[in-house]
Amino acid sequence: MAKDKNSPSKVEGYKQESRLLRGTIDEVLRDPEKDHFEESDLQLIKFHGSYQQDDRDLRKERRAAGLGKAYSFMLRIAIPAGQLSASQYLDLDRMADEFANGTIRLTTRQAVQFHGIIKSNLRETLRQINQSLLTTLAACGDVCRNVMATAAPLKDSIHETVRETAHAIAADLRPATKAYYDLWIDGQKELSSMETNDSEPFYGETYLPRKFKAGVTVANDNQIDIYSYDAGLIGVIENEELVGWNVLAGGGLGMSHGRPNTFAQIADKIGFVAIEKGVDAIRVIASIYRDFGNRNDRKQARLKYLIDTMGLDQFKTEFRKRCLFQVQNWREIPAVTINDWMGQHEQGDGKFFYGVFVENGRVKDSESIKMRTALRQIAEELGCGIVVTAQQSLIFQDLDAAQVDRVKEILSTNNVPLVETLSNARRYSMACPSMPTCGLAVAESERVAPEIITSIENKLEELGLSDSVMTIRMTGCPNGCARPYTADLALVGRRPGVYHLFVGGRLAGDRMADLYAADVKVEALLETLTPLLTSYAELRKEGEGLGDFYQRTLERSEPRRRVTGKEVPTYDEVQPKLYQLGAR
């Protein structure tokens, strides 16, 4: 019998019957014969910060041997504003060996992930994470996930307010159920600073229709790509003071190949609220999503689809109706800028912070680069605070001049590249984990990205473009975890070794790219890009990025705000225009 399109999805039923996220998780954890969870619990463990995965490299071999999948678990730690103490980082480094695969993964949303945890170690890993006063609660699932904030640890009132607001949103929208503590730390709530109840006064039994992402930044720093979130606050600065928040809603970068009714989108401008009402504004947006979001079709369940269906004007009306405080019109702010905060910077109190580039966020030791060793040594020796950035890297803060020199010395000793030695192509690159653990991946990403970046680096150098700042991002599927659709150049997996090639975004993150070429084999990538890159080298204006040049070639005056799952490639349209511009 066909499913009624108006009936709730299976996941809604799982949530409804879960006894506030308990399900049968405890029973499975206690059963030594079971190495994985079944469907209903699979959905519930996401709320607790975990995804069940298996090693896809081993599937064929194990199937031939009559074995099942090699199950393991990813754990994600929610870190509001990306802030960690040295001791917390060292705890995570230790746990990477004790429970995971010996690596730490820094994410594009300022969180930390472990991979390769087996079921029998899940409870103890989570317990120790909580002992470190960290949590995996709401790092995944149909709730407000990790709340981001600009990574720059600047010691001024504006940035302090940004960080405090991110933490306040995270606390306000964290699930209240006691299930997390009952399941993972046996009800020992004292191990965590968070208060919980055995009810969900905000979310209710079915929580949100799907995930909800939020962030906080200031008008002159879009390092966190604020326009790609479900909801966001941009601090408006006048006369060097924070005067309030511009509110955004409806961004999101996930879509499905071949489905024109799915799309990635830049967030809409909603209004302006007072500083003290920022948390309330995000809560109101979440409440509208909770009450009106699509609970029948999870592919249409994100807030961006609700706003598209409801209409932006009606959404704004509902927002203002629910706000028990004044909502003003959007305040005009300066053009978006971005700084990745790598290298040395003054933090405003006489001390410095230092950003370390971590390629694709994977903290590990290789034969040539001892990244994990270097970061551990810095944290142990200097005891400085750490901030995870939205570009999968990290920052050491509160350093004096001698300590900055020591950071550089430790990095160099372990062959970790200093930021000034990196090409722009590599410095601004990102890739999602993809194979072999992500169940959604259809192509490689992290494992092949460094080699692809090297080939692009060489081509850019050959064309005299080494000085050009461009974002290059790669994902193994269209869900957009590495934010590909706002990049100057992006590869999005279609099937093994084949990618859609997107061009036309920019570092500022406030414009969507186009599908430039479809179904490009990885070995044909440079051949496909060379005509565009050659013209860019010949015809670019001073300071013009690749995405900007591409948009000028197409004579676009307005930035694109949406890209769908089914686009017509622009390659054949762009080539004649390049010749008209005078390209050889």
Name the catalytic one among 76, 174, 210, 283: 76
Contact 417, 408 (CB under 8 A): no
Pairing relationship of beta strands 489-495 and 472-475 according to DSSP bridges = parallel
Name the catalytic one among 211, 304, 370, 494: 211
Instruction: Give the type of residue at 196.
Output: T
Picking from 246, 197, 257, the residue whose alpha carbon sits closest to that of residue 222 is 246
Longest Cα–Cα distance of the chain, Å, equals 71
Which 3-state string (H, E, C) describes 73-90?
Answer: EEEEEECHHHEECHHHHH
CA angle 80, 83, 84 (to 5 degrees): 125
- Residue 128, both tokens: 């120790």
Q: Is 481 a catalytic residue?
A: yes
Distance CA 199, CA 201 (A): 6
Q: Which residues contact 238 (CB under 8 A, 6 or more apart)?
A: none
Pairing relationship of beta strands 214-218 and 231-238 according to DSSP bridges = parallel
Name the catalytic one among 481, 483, 494, 511: 481
Q: Is 477 a catalytic residue?
A: yes
Q: Is 60 a catalytic residue?
A: no
Q: Is 384 a catalytic residue?
A: no
Name the catalytic one among 432, 473, 506, 511: 432
Q: Is 459 a catalytic residue?
A: no
> 64 φ, ψ to 5°?
-65, -30
Name the catalytic one among 46, 145, 473, 483: 145
Tell me if residue 370 falls in helix, strand or coil: strand
Q: Is 323 a catalytic residue?
A: no
Distance CA 509, CA 500 (A): 19
Query: What are the strands of the beta sheet with 352-356, ordered from one edge?
Result: 83-84, 386-388, 394-399, 352-356, 343-346
Tell me if residue 487 falls in helix, strand or coil: coil
- Residue 246, both tokens: 């511009």
Name the catalytic one among 277, 477, 506, 511: 477
Distance CA 449, CA 525 (A): 12
Q: Is 290 a catalytic residue?
A: no
Q: Is 105 a catalytic residue?
A: no
Name the catalytic one among 46, 119, 213, 362: 213
Instruction: Give the type of residue at 6.
Output: N
Name the catalytic one among 144, 427, 438, 511: 438
Q: Which residues are catalytic?
A: 76, 145, 211, 213, 432, 438, 477, 481
